[in-house]
Every structure is written in C-alpha cells, then in structure tokens.
Structure 1
Amino acid sequence: MVGNALREKVAIIGGGEKNLGGLLSRTFAEDGAKVVVHYHNDKSAAEETVQDIEGTGGHAVAVQGDLTQIADVRRLFDTAVDTYGGADIAVNTTGMVLRKPILETTEEEYDRMFAINSKAGFFFIQEAGRRLNDRGRIISIGTSLLAAFTDGYSTYAGGKSPLEHFTRAAAKEFADRGISVNVVAPGPMDTPFFYPQETPERVEFHQSQAMGNQLTHIDDVAPVIKFLATEGWWFTGQTMFPNGGYTTR
C-alpha cells in the first residue's frame, strides 16, 4: 500500500459508529474507502454514520455484533467480503473501561473486562489475519496505561495489555503476506467513554499530565491510524502513543 490513498480499499471499523470509531469511518470514507461500520448497541449512531457517508457519495454498511462472540467477529468480516468483495484494513476501536479498586472488583467485572478488552481483541486480530487481502493493515486501540500506571484501572489496563503481545506475534506470523499489525495507545480521550469513571478533580489531573493541559482529542489520534493504514506500511509490531506526553504518577 506504499503511497496509495484509501480509494477503493475496504475498511472494517470495530466500534465504528461513534467517537473515535465514527470519526475513522467518516475519514476513511471521505478518502474513498468502502467502510463496514460495526456497532454493538447504538444502532441509531451507526445508521447516522452510514447515512453521513452515503450522503457524500461514499459507501458504507452497518453491522451489529458482540465482538466477544467469535461468530459475530466472523460475521463482521463475512459482511465485508459479501458486500465489497474483500477487506484491506481492520481497525478495532472497541473497549470497556472500569475504574475500581482491586479489592472491590468482582469476578463478573473481571471476566467482562477481559472479554471485551482482551478476548475480543485477540479474535479480531485472528479473523483479520485470515480474511484481509495481502498487504492489509490491522490496528488495535490500546491505552497509554500500557506505558504508565495509576490506581483504579487494574482490569482496564490489564485487559488491554495483552494487545501488545497479540500484535507482536501477529506481526511476525502475518509478515509473509505483507500484513502489518500495530497498536495505537492514546491517553485519556475527551469522549463520553472517559468521563463516567472520573471525578472533576481527577479529570483536571489527567488534563495536567499532557501538553496544552488537555485530554487527548480524537482528531489528534485519527491521523495516526490513517497513517498506519496507508503510508506507514513499514511500521509493524509497534505500539504508538499519541498522547501529548501524558504521564501518570
């Protein structure tokens, strides 16, 4: 995909209906890609994203699925093949965050966090490795807590951390087909995904840990993902941290 734009490529966006995923769906479509917009619960947001894309002459289809279920992961990729003849790019933006002390975390919460953040990530990568065209691109969304640490996020950061190891192994295993595999690990993002877990004081603290005294904006993350999906073909097995220098203490 050296030097190529996204025109006529097919992109599957896990969690592609809103927030970062919605921005990616629209951005990829604006650049000529055909987009498979996955959603879990928010059907109206998925339909709105598809309508926006089609309203500007693009091509998109929405697919509901629970990515913790392997059959739903496979059906997502089946849709890309059946609708557009194949797939070139697979980006998984899905995840679930929980801020809770270790001593208060239940077994049910642990299982749910690892199912969404780890199991779903693994089988998304697996299916992408099976189904993408040669020289495809696989990108997972991690967290900057892979490189920093703080209290309360044990099952979130712990559930996301295997993505790095899945990615490194897949980068080697898929290399003979020219498929790159990477993780993009933003800092806390200014989306509804973040705020329910935090107090105003902790939001202010997180803002203070990055340049410009701000949370990560999805508009600053999307270009990194687009780069990896196009000109950044030489990057593989990597974790990239677009976070404004975010640290925790």
Structure 2
Amino acid sequence: MTSNTTDRVAIVTGGSGGIGRASALRLAREGIAVVVHFNSNKAPAEETVKAITETGGRAVAAGGDIADETAATALFDTAERELGGIDVLVHTAGIMPLSPIAQLDLEDFDRIQRVNVRGTFVVDKLAAQRMRAGGAIINFSTSITRLQAPAYGAYAASKGAVEAITLILARELRGRDITVNAVAPGPTATPLFFEGKSQELIDRIADNNPFQRLGTPEDIAEAVAFLAGPARWVNGQTIFVNGGAA
C-alpha cells in the first residue's frame, strides 16, 4: 500500500487502547491523519496521539459517548475542522460484559445493546452522511458469533446486529464509492478480553487456536489497514481475523 495518503483522515473510535490504539498507529504509518476517540479516559488517547505526532503523523484526541448522536456529531465535526474531512471510520468501541443468559441482568443487556448496536448505528449513519468518496467504513463484530461460546449471549447478539447493519449499509451506499465491512476478531490480548478471566481459562483459549496463542491488537490492525486502503473490491463482508480459531 502506498504511503502517499496524507490527505486522508480516519476516525478511530475506542482509539485509546487495545485494538483501537493499534489500528490508529497502523493507519498513521500509512500517512493517514487520525482522530483518536475516547469515551471517559482521555490520557491514553493523548498518549496515542503523542505516539503518532512524534513520528511525524497528524492526530488529535476527541471524547464522547458514541451512542449519543450529539456527541458523535461533535466527533465528526472535529475530524472535519481539525484534519480536513473524513475518509475512514474504524469503529472499535464496544463493551463485553459476560453472563449466562439465564442470569444476565436486563439492565446489562440494555447497556450492551446501547453501546454496541446503537453506537454502531449512530456512527455509521454519520459516516454515510459525511464521508468522502473513496472512503471505508470498518465496523467490529466478533468471531463469537460463530464460535458460540457460553456466557457471550448478549454480546454475540449485539455483534450479530452489527453484521446486519454493515451488510445493509454497504448496499445502501451504492454509487458513493464507499466500502462497508466488518472485522470479526477471535480471542485477542486486550484488557477487554482479559477482564474477569482466570489465567487457566486464558491459557486454554489460547491453546485452542492452531497457532496456540491469542491474537494481538497488531494482528487485527493489519486487517483494518487492508480494508482502509487497498481493499476496494472487498465490500459488504464480515472478515474473520482469528488465526483459524474454531
């Protein structure tokens, strides 16, 4: 992929850590300017911005609840005002509380759907309205929609909705020269994955993979860079990036 992309601008939601941070850094390596989004913790987002700008890239941090249309609109305003436009949306922001369906508190269920489904709908809606031709919308699903592990019911349901939104939006943007795809990581070494898991469980999950390890945020960021740049004939797809997990 060419690095002559300094006029392109990406918004990376959840860009302060994990897959979001790795994606922001990876896109910046390609010369893409980045809006690093955070929800409540500004310091890690500013660290990501610093890492980009210290190597000659352009980046700004911007906060807000991506499920709130006013806050999300302000995020898009920042991209246009500070960096000149919007060409790529990488929507990694999400939450993953785990519980068997029979024991799940419905307030937690509603919170998961609000962040993961409504949040995706809101930022995709804004991207569809404001993204320039040649753009790429990259949503995040999960390999759990296929692996069907216990305790992931509410989370998998939310990501199934994300896949549906992705595939339909790709068709609705006919004639706009904008691709819309979803990345579906497998178990990946992020704080979100490690939360609430014993080391024994983490080791067992890692060993189930043909590579006998967890994915890394950088593994996932490579797929993001592909979809953000050269993959113009990949559209309306869910790409499973999981090392062959089954």
Show the counterpart of 2:212: 213
Report the AA paired with residue 38 of structure 1. H
Q: How does 1:35-54 map to 2 (within 5 A)?
A: 35-54=34-53
Which runs of 5 or more structure 2 residues have no equivalent in the other structure?
none
Report the AA paired with residue 110 of structure 1. F
Per-residue deviation, residues 114-146 of structure 1 (Å, max 9, x unmatched): 011111011111111111101210001111012
Q: Does residue 74 of the first structure (1) align with residue 73 of the second (2)?
A: yes
Show the counterpart of 1:23: 22
Q: Distance in 1 between matches of 2:5 and 2:210?
A: 31
Show the counterpart of 1:119: 118
SS of residue matched to 2:211:
helix
Q: Distance in 2 between matches of 1:110 and 1:147?
A: 20
Show the counterpart of 2:32: 33
SS of residue matched to 2:195:
helix
SS of residue matched to 1:95:
coil
Show the counterpart of 1:99: 98
Worse overlay, 169-178 or 190-199: 190-199
> TM-score with structure 2 length normalisation?
0.96
Report the AA paired with residue 131 of structure 1. R
Show the counterpart of 1:84: 83
Worse overlay, 234-243 or 205-214: 205-214
SS of residue matched to 1:177:
coil
Show the counterpart of 1:163: 162
SS of residue matched to 1:57:
coil
Aligned-residue CA RMSD (Å): 1.4
SS of residue matched to 2:34:
strand
Show the counterpart of 2:11: 12
> TM-score with structure 1 length normalisation?
0.95
CA pair 4-235 structure 1, distance change in 2 beyond 3 A? farther
Report the AA paired with residue 221 of structure 1. I
Show the counterpart of 2:138: 139
Report the AA paired with residue 142 of structure 1. S
SS of residue matched to 2:181:
strand
Which runs of 5 or more structure 1 residues have no equivalent in the other structure?
none
Q: 1:197 Cα shift?
A: 2.8
Q: Which runs of 4+ in 1 moved over 3 A?
A: 2-6
